[in-house]
């Protein structure tokens, strides 16, 4: 079954404590991306990757890092989380060769105290 998985699904942490949210896909897609969803703002892109070792900033990259060492994984790293990073995070993937559709993971609810 085609899947985008995210872990953890829920996380409560404190300011300054480094954390990583993992994203993995089994569809062999070249393109992966991270979004955050906030009330009244919709989904905003944080970072995206067009292939292994190729990443670029989205619209709201401040405070986040990513890496793409393997095609299937695209972790989101918060080196020093702050309360304004409390949000719902989604990973998404897309084939580089077919259509416009992006496939989303189930989301990670992050609370930074």
Among 15, 83, 101, 113, interactor with another protein by CB under 8 A: 101
Is the CB of 13 or the CB of 45 nearer to another protein?
45
Among 43, 63, 65, 86, interactor with another protein by CB under 8 A: 43
Instruction: Fill in the per-residue mask, 52 to 91: x = in contact with another protein (CB under 8 A), - = not in contact.
Output: ------xx------------------------------x-
Could you tell me which of 80, 76, 79 has the C-alpha nearest to residue 67? 76
Residue 14: which residues within 8 A CB-CB, separation 6 or more?
81, 112, 113
Residue 74: which residues within 8 A CB-CB, separation 6 or more?
23, 24, 25, 32, 33, 34, 49, 66, 67, 68, 91
Residues that bind another protein (CB under 8 A): 4, 31, 33, 35, 40-45, 48, 50, 58-59, 90, 92, 94, 96, 99-107
């Amino acid at each position: 079954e085609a899947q985008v998985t995210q872990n953890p699904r829920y996380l409560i942490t404190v300011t300054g404590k480094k954390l990583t949210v993992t994203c993995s896909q089994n569809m062999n897609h070249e393109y992966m991306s991270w979004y955050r969803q906030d009330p009244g703002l919709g989904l905003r892109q944080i970072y995206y990757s067009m292939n292994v070792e190729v990443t670029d900033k989205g619209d709201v990259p401040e405070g986040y890092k990513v890496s793409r060492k393997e095609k299937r994984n695209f972790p989101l790293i918060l080196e020093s989380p702050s309360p304004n990073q409390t949000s719902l995070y989604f990973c998404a993937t897309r084939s580089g060769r077919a259509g416009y559709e992006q496939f989303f993971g189930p989301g990670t609810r992050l609370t930074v105290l």
